[in-house]
Amino acid sequence: MSDTERERDDAGRPKNARPRDELGRPLPRGAANVMQTESPARTPEEALARGIEHFNAGRYFQAHEAWEEGWHPAPEPERAPQ
């Protein structure tokens, strides 16, 4: 794979498998991943609380990821932009 190609999942959607630093910034391929991985939130409320905790700690990328995890399974009317 060239440096400009992206890894893709089975459906053809782009994946970002690059390692990340503790703030979620991408590191060069082959670098050690420093960002802690979390088990998936069991409920949207857990994802919300986890996102708030990350946000308040200055971990904005992780907050975004936690909130997105709670948003994806929501019914379509709740996902629509306001």
Domain encompassing residue 70: 44-79
Quote the number of domains for the chain: 2
The answer on 25 and 56 residing in a single domain is no
Q: What is the pTM of this model?
A: 0.60
Long-range CB contact pairs, 51-58, < 8 A, 24+? 58/23
The answer on 32 and 1 residing in a single domain is yes
Q: Give pLDDT, residue 52.
A: 97
Under the banding of pLDDT at 50, 70 and 90, the label for residue 17 is confident
The answer on 26 and 6 residing in a single domain is yes
The answer on 57 and 30 residing in a single domain is no
The answer on 53 and 32 residing in a single domain is no
The string of pLDDT tens digits covering residues 21-74 is: 877 788 888 888 887 778 888 888 899 999 999 999 998 988 998 998 888 777
The answer on 74 and 56 residing in a single domain is yes
Phi-psi region of 58 (alpha: psi -120 to 50; beta: other; left: phi over 0): left
